[in-house]
Structure 1
Amino acid sequence: MSLAFERVAAQPVPEHARQHMVRMRDGVRLATDVYGAGTEPAPTVLVRLPYDKNSRYVFFEQVAERFTARGYVMVVQDVRGKFRSQGRTLGWTGEVDDGYDTIEWVTHQPWSDGVVGMFGDSYYGFTQWSAVSSQHPALRAIVPRVTCTDVVPGVATVDARAERQPGWLEGADYLAHVWVDNDTYEFEPDLTTRPLIAAYEQAFTAIGKRSAGFDLVVGGIPLAAYNGPHPYDARPVPVLHCVGWFDNLGVAHMRDYTELARRPGWAAVQYLSADSTDHENYFLEHAPVAPETDHMVDDDALTRMLDAYTAPALRFFDVFLKGTEHPDTLPRVRWKLGHVGWRTSTSWPPPGATALDLHLDAPAAAPGPLPGGVLGERPAAQGESVEWRYDPDDLVPSAVANTFMLLHDHPDERPTADRDDVLVFTTPAFETPLDLAGPVRAELHAASTAPTYDLFVRLLDVAPDGTARLVVRGCVQADAPGAWDVDLGHTGYRVRTGHRLALTLASSDFPNHVPNSGSTENPWYTTAPKASLQTLRTGPGQRSRLRLTVLPAASGTGE
């Protein structure tokens, strides 16, 4: 039986946008909308994206209204091979040259004053970094949102200092839907199929085409994203990093910010705006989201979201594109403390933040239901260990099917924490608020009966009524016994009085991640994945611990 699918094509160009087919150096022409071009030259804000420049999903008709009202020309382009643009459909390739050529075209238009900035989320944050790599002199500032510089298609990528990651099934699934040809395809693969690859072969057979990017991911073949210098090594431009504490690319995005903040030249022009949002711009204060606060379906909610979405960029561009404000008027760091509100600081983590280690203890109780083992400030007095199982026929379910919209549902994760194949360690209830402000890491001494095993770590806020909701998460793929450093990203979050923190550890997270084969076999092709037994060790010499960054009580500057 053929898999059912729906093909989604380009929406009409809005009446107040003018579309041009802009020629690249190899003759390929890219569909490019211009909003707000007037008789007087003005600075331009450029967006290059693969999601249909005219769709409600990216809402650029409404975004352009906000930029043009501020005196900017807005240019929005379908990248090569997507929707109305020509060329081969293969993401993460060609964006350096196409970014340069598009900026060059902009600067030769009568409505351009020769100054260009770039804006946008996710892949259209990556195209900004590609343009930085191109080093076009007209590019004066960028505002990358919920994105990162180093992208392996289908993988929330890592730098050389980071551990290997489990296969990100969500990311590969995205490639199979978005990067087939000019259009996108909606279908529901049966992810319980073995081998897993067969679920997508069925979809490609029904569509009659394949996703080249998906095939590269499954084959473990990386793409060289930059044919110029890596952005870190390019000419510095002012950057406003717009980060979501609950974004599924947040770990990688904060690596960009912290790395560039250490680099001469770049450090002077790094700015951070960090909100309690996920990848799709849902807010912690609205989670779980009600219909009246869902901007995907409610126009009033969309208006409110877009005001918050564009405001930091407009202020930033007024400084670095127009020069109407001095850079000193911008806070170097503007960040939201979850459940409290906005703060500003001169650096990140904020001055005065300190490390707090919470040690995993009483591991024998960890496979039980919450509260399980102990997460406490005192290290375990003696060495102990606990085992937990990985069963490919009984995988630990992902908290949400779509982590791009994590806060839309923001579910209670206690049922998962109570599973006997999930370890959980919990603090006592806090008698005063604890403010998290900075990086979070877990150091875990682990081993397995398998040659490869996955460690999925989640930090939960446990309310007095027992509900447990995500604060941060991270994962690594291990291939030996030892101390594994798991980066859980950064956060600004208040653990309120009477609440507890719980750390959970599991070896699967399905369907967000590809189930481990339990062997050296490619997990996409295995028909018989193997079960395994993992061991966590605590105590002297093997101190498994959670490393938080916290603020002193009642610190931070509010707005």
Structure 2
Amino acid sequence: MLNRIIARVTDRFLGLPLAEGPAPEVVKGLRIPMPDGVHLIADRYVPAGMRSGPVVLIRTPYGRGMPIGKLLGETFARHGLQVVVQSVRGTFGSEGEFRPFHTEREDGLATAEWLRAQPWCDGRLGTAGPSYLGHTQWAIGPYLDPPLEAMCLAVTSSEFATMFYPGGGFATDNLVSWTATIARQEERFAGLPNPRQQRRTRQAMAHLPMSGADVASVGRQVQFLQDVAAHAEPGDDYWAICDHTDQVAGLTVPVTMSTGWYDLFIRRQLLDFRLLQDAGRGPRITVGPWAHSDLGGIRALMQDQISFLTAQFSGNHTELHRAPVRIFLQQAGSWLDFDHWPPPATATPMHLRPVGGLGEAVTGTAAPTPFTYDPADPTPAVGGPLLTGETKQKDNSAVEARDDVLVFTGEPLAAELDVIGDVSATVHVRTELGDADVYVRLCDVDTAGVSRNVTDGILRLRPGVPAADEDGIVRVEVELDPTAYRFRRGHRLRVQVAGGAFPRFARNHGTGEPVTSAVAGKPNRFEVFHDETRPSQVVLPIFTP
């Protein structure tokens, strides 16, 4: 009786139809053999009365009985989907060593072959799940023959290295956070809140050298962090094994996606969608006002994936008749439907002006604006697309008051301004040291003067890359995350330019030393140019209904 009550409460919370009938059967501890003799452990969730049918494969490093695995398995099965939840190699009873991203293709393909040979599987397979569970889908989706019936991809992308090394830097906050999670997740009580461990992990983000952040956080080396730190330099193809970008356009599997504007994979997932869309594959996507693990995003992915899988397996696509693109327009409180991403918009440059101005026109000639970035006191990060901690929009006032942050602010808007699509920046900069980071953030300043972040991006400069002109000035092209955002009447647009955002991105020591071993650093003087010859600007996709 208690389980039935919990199931009904769960369905209501997730916005799903209340499942009727007997509870699903759970068959635990399936041992699935891999070609190298290792066995991976899985649990099978069977809808009441089903003898044989299609299977939804969910491969997770986070534990079959832990919240995400159990939620997906039980809820999907309650709604008529047979599910196999498998612990990936080296996690939660599965044999072998867990080397994230490096064995998921071989293990996933072997698992699919085994499932199709079982009498309770009719040969049809679909995949589901968010984040790393999405990576395990991309690891097999383009390569499986016969192909999958469906792929359900939430807060994920076809390649992860961009998330490890955004703009050529190092994603300290996200990588150290995830390292601590996977290192401790099988310890007793690991699923409970642990403020002491959270503080220790955040303090470890400042540890120098970066290769010691794992020991500082959890008391021992974790191979994943050692790998990402050791392979952070340009030209290293260590992570090529988890890059499936070249396979996206050729994917013939029906695909549904969901993500949020403050998810760390938003840029790459929308690129995946565009590649599928441009190839005529007919994907669909939902983008809401969420960060990576928001409850609203979890509700959306459950509704999206259950409806999509049910339709693909049953052949009844009636419920799939919706616009391919459904996005939430932030600060407007409304959902918009489009046939394509991005929707038609007018690319409008907003130029950085002398004395902190911002506007569509370039202002004559002006001396560059200087600031100094000091790795001993790195410019702090505030909010944004983080895996844990203070995510999404935050008050940027304290950061904008610092001497190492340039602020360019526009006039109050005479009317609402909708920005929907890809945002980019061009900054003409000269740095004292060849090794430097250029960080650009777009903010929304309300009528009370509070500045809140909307989107941002970073690019790491190295000596000669990009090349400087005869005056030592570099034209820096920074890609910001895409967004859908309404700037309200009376609000002002603001652009920040800085030399970093720590610990979201690793500090730039200015020495060229690899991130894995760098300890000492040098202050770096920047000059940002904003005149007719070198017009620094942010380009906004202005949407007009």
Under a length normalisation based on structure 1, what TM-score does the superposition of the two structures give? Answer: 0.82
Deviation readout 1:164-185 (Å, 9 max, x if unpaired): 4211112431453245598378
Distance 2:306 2:204 in 1: 43
Alignment of 1:163-242 (within 5 A): 164-174=167-177, 176-180=179-183, 183=186, 187-188=200-201, 189-202=203-216, 206-207=219-220, 210-220=221-231, 222-225=238-241, 230-232=246-248, 234-242=250-258
Local SS of the residue matching 1:476 = strand
Change (3 A) 1:496 1:17: farther
AA at the equivalent of 2:255 = V
Change (3 A) 1:78 1:436: same
Deviation readout 1:465-493 (Å, 9 max, x if unpaired): 12222211111101244211111121111
Local SS of the residue matching 2:306 = helix
AA at the equivalent of 1:274 = V
AA at the equivalent of 2:401 = D
Range that drifts further, 440-449 or 404-413: 404-413
Q: Does 1:386 align with 2:396?
A: no
Local SS of the residue matching 2:142 = helix
* Residue 60 (structure 2) aligned to one of 49, 74, 79: 49
Q: CA deviation at 1:231?
A: 2.7
Q: CA deviation at 1:141?
A: 1.5
Alignment of 1:382-531 (within 5 A): 382-400=365-383, 403-405=386-388, 410-479=393-462, 480=464, 481=468, 482-531=474-523
- Is contact 2:277–2:283 with CA below 8 Å preserved after alignment? yes
Local SS of the residue matching 1:503 = strand
Local SS of the residue matching 1:404 = coil
Q: CA deviation at 1:112?
A: 2.3
* Residue 147 (structure 1) aligned to one of 143, 146, 156: 156
Change (3 A) 1:156 1:275: farther
Deviation readout 1:211-268 (Å, 9 max, x if unpaired): 2222222212523325999432654212222121111221222222223333x3xx32
Local SS of the residue matching 1:72 = coil
Alignment of 1:315-394 (within 5 A): 315-325=307-317, 329-339=321-331, 340-350=333-343, 352-362=344-354, 365=355, 373-394=356-377
Local SS of the residue matching 1:132 = coil
Distance 2:502 2:110 in 1: 41
Give the structure 2 partner of residue 302 of structure 1. none
Q: Does 1:269 align with 2:282?
A: yes
Change (3 A) 1:397 1:181: closer
Distance 1:239 1:442 in 2: 31
Local SS of the residue matching 1:35 = strand
Change (3 A) 1:246 1:70: same
Q: CA deviation at 1:532?
A: 0.5
Change (3 A) 1:465 1:320: same
Range that drifts further, 487-496 or 15-24: 15-24
Local SS of the residue matching 1:516 = coil
AA at the equivalent of 1:502 = R
Distance 1:348 1:229 in 2: 18
- Is contact 1:335–1:343 with CA below 8 Å preserved after alignment? yes
Q: CA deviation at 1:382?
A: 2.3
Give the structure 2 partner of residue 26 of structure 1. 36
Identity %: 27
Deviation readout 1:53-97 (Å, 9 max, x if unpaired): 2223x2x33333432233211221111112221111210111111
Q: CA deviation at 1:278?
A: 0.8
Range that drifts further, 274-283 or 89-98: 274-283
Q: Which runs of 5+ in 2 are unaligned?
A: 1-23, 191-196, 469-473
* Residue 110 (structure 2) aligned to one of 73, 96, 101: 101
Give the structure 2 partner of residue 257 of structure 1. 273
AA at the equivalent of 1:200 = D
Deviation readout 1:333-356 (Å, 9 max, x if unpaired): 111111322111111122x42212
Distance 1:28 1:443 in 2: 51
Change (3 A) 1:219 1:308: closer
Range that drifts further, 187-196 or 244-253: 187-196
- Is contact 1:50–1:78 with CA below 8 Å preserved after alignment? yes
Distance 1:379 1:22 in 2: 64
- Is contact 2:229–2:515 with CA below 8 Å preserved after alignment? no
Local SS of the residue matching 1:63 = helix
- Is contact 1:96–1:228 with CA below 8 Å preserved after alignment? no
Distance 1:227 1:491 in 2: 24
Local SS of the residue matching 1:488 = strand
- Is contact 1:42–1:71 with CA below 8 Å preserved after alignment? no
Range that drifts further, 529-538 or 243-252: 243-252
Deviation readout 1:112-143 (Å, 9 max, x if unpaired): 23222111211111111101133231412112
AA at the equivalent of 1:394 = D
AA at the equivalent of 1:269 = G
Range that drifts further, 41-50 or 440-449: 41-50
Distance 1:544 1:393 in 2: 28
* Residue 62 (structure 1) aligned to one of 60, 71, 74: 71
AA at the equivalent of 1:167 = F
Q: Does 1:280 align with 2:306?
A: no
Distance 2:294 2:269 in 1: 15
* Residue 246 (structure 1) aligned to one of 262, 270, 275: 262
Local SS of the residue matching 1:121 = coil
Paired residues, number: 495
Distance 2:395 2:185 in 1: 38
Q: CA deviation at 1:269?
A: 2.6
Q: Does 1:36 align with 2:46?
A: yes
Local SS of the residue matching 1:525 = coil
Q: CA deviation at 1:386?
A: 0.9
Q: CA deviation at 1:201?
A: 4.2
Deviation readout 1:378-407 (Å, 9 max, x if unpaired): 122225411111111221112149812467
- Is contact 2:428–2:529 with CA below 8 Å preserved after alignment? yes
- Is contact 2:441–2:497 with CA below 8 Å preserved after alignment? yes
* Residue 304 (structure 2) aligned to one of 312, 319, 328: 312
Distance 2:385 2:487 in 1: 25
Change (3 A) 1:46 1:454: same
Alignment of 1:59-138 (within 5 A): 60-138=69-147
Change (3 A) 1:526 1:395: same
- Is contact 2:287–2:326 with CA below 8 Å preserved after alignment? yes
Q: CA deviation at 1:527?
A: 2.8
Distance 1:334 1:491 in 2: 13
